Chains A and B, each alone.
Chain A
């Protein structure tokens, strides 16, 4: 039986009185590039934190590749890669030393081979001995993604992968995401604000507003549902506005 890559059922997280994620029920099939949209504070990062086992849900449940994020967190961790927003890694270490550290933590057997492989994937094997502190933000972001690939994860979680990057860096990250998905079948779950990138990269999307999932479907279906809107940006704003009105 094939499990969905990600499945949540009434997943909720509270910080004191504040509900950050409110009864999130979502299914992301394997092999998708899922764009998770929403304004700042909508609950996207809290959701990713629960799915990557960094944060325990207050109630509800979630599975990643069939493993429960609470009860089987070690198995979940073995199946996922995670790249937080603006990940900088260790400035004083070289790219190879950084990757070697994360590979060792992930229990990778042939570390040297894996480092060469991921740097080849990035098409930049020459970065190996560069000091991370000397790299540009775009280069560091790609190394950040590389660390998440060392142990061949089934699901890659990316939090704002193109945040603060120039157009060239954004395109490079986008190309890498699509290539990883198409070549290795890795499911990508990414939080993002960049709607143009979502339109280009994602196969399905979900929109969060005030901790609630407002819409979740394939990109094709979402676009078809709003035929009079010219872009995903228009749809996003419309959906958010409708939800705001419904809430208030």
Chain B
């Protein structure tokens, strides 16, 4: 086994013995289960109400019945995007914030680097191992969601729906990778794991809440009411500014593509699969940018400053 894979395997092994990580991971899976249950229950209630209405109308002799409500299977899982953008990001931070600091404190960083191991191999091994942890967690969430759709919702997802869900899992992985690489990069330079955790959370709040809120505020303020006709008009320049602000938030990208993949956005169920996956691919590339940036900063810092391991 290569040096990188030895380190990756150890990271994988230790992550699942970290009580904080395991607790949040279990919470993440439970929320996902609960979300499917609530989603299924809501859809069932909607159908029951429709059936009752139809029965009443039929009994009254009404000939024109309301159309059957259109239920998109994947909308049952719509909360998944929210859980990943919040709990998933925190999980990734929990995985990465201690990555290097704990090794420094335990003296193992010096021991590892006194073996035939290069610094880049150590970082790559850690990144692969921790990414593996995220992937396995998302795989569990995927399997749970499909099973729950079958068992609780009584719905057999189509191949296209499974592909959409798989694409969402892929996007979730790339999204969580942002926070993993961020906390790992901070963990290389900073001396206190509490500070790394805090700074990572501040960045997460910025991406997830502050920037989208700024965009929304800008959008809300970018309308004028024509006093003569009374018509409300959107100011095009300000709408563009609002969109530009949104583009700074990886969470916005993730939520937007998530809503399209799970057919929450109106009309997204009719988008041609080719067009949808082209959009998925573009978003994937955009979401990779912060990870590449944080990863590069992390590697450059760790490779250039040899005294970091002596702190």
Contact = CB atoms under 8 A, between A and B. Distances in A.
B223 interface: no
Contact of B106 (A49, A53, A89, A105): A89
The main secondary structure of chain B at its interface with chain A is helix
A108 B3 CA distance: 12
B306 A53 contact: no
Interface string A53-94: 111100000000000000000100110101111111111110
Interface stretch (A34-42, A96-104, A211-219, A233-241): A96-104
B309 A54 contact: yes
A104 B10 CA distance: 11
B44 to A, nearest CB: 43
Contacts of B116: 74, 77-78, 105-107
B113 interface: yes
A104 B1 contact: yes
A172 B238 CA distance: 74
B154 interface: no
B27 interface: no
Nearest to B3: A105
Nearest to A150: B115
Interface in A136-193: 144, 147-148, 157
Interface string B248-283: 000000000000000000000000000000000000
Nearest to B117: A105
Contacts of B18: 92
Nearest to B108: A89
A52 interface: yes
B221 interface: no
A45 B309 CA distance: 12
B166 to A, nearest CB: 32
B58 interface: no
A105 to B, nearest CB: 4
A203 B213 CA distance: 70
A113 interface: no
A101 B6 contact: yes
A15 B10 CA distance: 33
B108 A90 contact: yes
B307 interface: yes
Interface string B69-106: 00000000000000000000000000000000000011
Contacts of A148: 111
Contacts of B1: 104
B304 interface: no
B221 to A, nearest CB: 51
Given A54-B306, A93-B13, A93-B17, A88 B106 contact: yes
Interface size class of B (residues with CB under 8 A): 20 to 34
Given A55-B310, A93-B14, A104-B6, A88 B111 contact: no
Interface in B93-135: 105-108, 110-117
A148 B1 CA distance: 20
Given A53-B114, A92-B18, A106-B115, A97 B309 contact: no
Contact of A87 (B17, B108, B307): B108
Contacts of B306: 54-56
A232 to B, nearest CB: 28
Interface string A116-153: 00000000000000000000000000001001100000
Given A15-B307, A106-B115, A84 B110 contact: yes
Contact of A84 (B3, B7, B10, B107): B107
B14 A54 contact: no
A54 B306 CA distance: 7
Contacts of B10: 90, 93, 101
Contacts of B106: 87-91
A13 B3 CA distance: 30
Interface string B42-79: 00000000000000000000000000000000000000
Nearest to A91: B106
Interface in A18-57: 45-46, 49, 52-56
A15 B309 CA distance: 14
B115 A55 contact: no
Contacts of B117: 105
Nearest to A90: B14
A29 B65 CA distance: 99
Nearest to A13: B307
A86 B106 CA distance: 8
A97 B13 CA distance: 10
Nearest to A147: B111
Contacts of B6: 101, 104-105
17 contacts: A49-B310, A54-B113, A55-B306, A77-B114, A77-B116, A82-B110, A82-B111, A84-B110, A84-B111, A87-B107, A90-B10, A104-B1, A104-B6, A105-B6, A105-B7, A144-B111, A147-B111
Interface of A: 15, 45-46, 49, 52-56, 74, 77-78, 80, 82-93, 97, 101-102, 104-107, 144, 147-148, 157
Q: Which 6 A-B pairs rank lowest in CB-CB distance, beginning with the nearest?
A: A87-B107, A92-B17, A84-B107, A82-B114, A88-B106, A105-B115
